[in-house]
Amino acid sequence: MRKALYISVLLIAASCQGIPAQREEKGTTVRITAIATPGTKSVPGETQIGSMAAWIYSSRAAYDQGLAAESFAFSQGNSVTLDCTRGSKLAVVVTNLPQSQFNTSQPLAPANLGYDLKSARYSLESMMDNGFLMHGSLAFSSDQESADLPVVVTRAVCKVSLGSVRNSLQEKGWAGKDVQVEDLFLVNGVSGAFPDPFMAGAQPSVGDFFWCSAKYSPRSGPYPDFGQDEGPECAQAEVSGTISPGMSMSIDAALYCCPNPTEDDTQTLSGDLLVAAAWAPRHTRLVLQCSIDGHRCYYPVTLPALEENVWYKIEELVIKHFGTDSPDAPLSFTDVGITAHFGGWDGLSINETL
């Protein structure tokens, strides 16, 4: 009896001296606040950040491997609170997604804990009701009971604007005539954005493009399929007016689309014909539609590869010659004068004259 009592006393003493015992892992409560970058304005009539969703992953590697997040939260505001284990983590934030995107039948359902965030797509049309999609991420580490985490989010779309148009017609037969401005829109635009903040520069699918044309001949007119895919309202602007010779007209219109990283233009000129055996991803163009002396023409400005959260600002378009017969014709810069600024949404731009 004494021997058994002695052994039990030793075991108790040993446990008090630090022999490892199984215990619950400590957690931390993280309050994540989405911070929009300076100049990241919202859709007219919408707040800057109307809602946000946040995921916490154990690491960037876990995220890249498609593993489940440790926690998820959604809020009708710009901050959420989540619980996770302590240590190094990755926070991923997406703003302005409607709550319906997180229903149980949707890829982003909370039960999935981020499994399908990489494959999710969100349309430009849907953003008009909820504010443009913004996203961001931040690697962090916490060994405290609570932590405040500001995460900078940037817009997942790009902005294309035209400031003014000047009538400087010089071509014989057209010089001295009025220019009637009729419309402004984008062709070969992209309507789908990736919520995943690490998908910047990913190639969109053919189905993501809107207002596209196939092979086109000015002699026969545009093919019937041109314009069958309706584009979003934010990719066009109702502009109209008459520009007298030597005068300018203020346009001051902004259009929006999703990034288009396409580097090559599959629509090229061969004499007076546009050559493209079949439509393929190509550069987005800003198109000014006009009429001169009753004849309709277009002034398509071919944009570079479009990046998210960049403002492609065309300050002035100077018309020198009669335009093209196709909205998708690459325009020679001898036909118009273009002053453009491509840079951050906050207006800190890089100046380029095309």
Closest CA to 193 of 158, 228, 235: 158
pTM of the model: 0.79
> What pLDDT score was predicted for residue 327?
84
> What pLDDT score was predicted for residue 288?
93
Structure tokens that stand for 11 in this block: 């075991």
d(CA 353, CA 166): 16
> What pLDDT score was predicted for residue 98?
76
Structure tokens that stand for 329 in this block: 């014709």
Residue ranges of domains in the chain: 27-155, 158-353
> What pLDDT score was predicted for residue 245?
94
Architecture of domain 27-155: Sandwich (2.60)
d(CA 49, CA 41): 10
Q: At 168, is the secondary structure helix, strand, or coil?
A: coil
Question: For tokens 């093209």, what's the residue?
Answer: 324
CATH of domain 158-353: 2.60.40
Compute mean pLDDT per 10 residues along the chain, 354 residues long, and list them.
Answer: 40 39 67 80 61 90 85 89 92 85 59 62 79 90 91 89 91 90 92 86 81 50 43 88 95 91 69 55 89 92 88 88 82 64 54 37
> What pLDDT score was predicted for residue 79?
93
Ramachandran angles phi, psi of 134, nearest 5°: -130, 150
8 Å CB contact between 251 and 165: yes
8 Å CB contact between 288 and 264: no
> What pLDDT score was predicted for residue 109?
56
The half-sphere exposure of 31 on its side-chain side, counting CA atoms within 13 A, is 7
> What pLDDT score was predicted for residue 227?
42
The amino acid present at 303, given as its one-letter code, is: L
> What pLDDT score was predicted for residue 295?
92
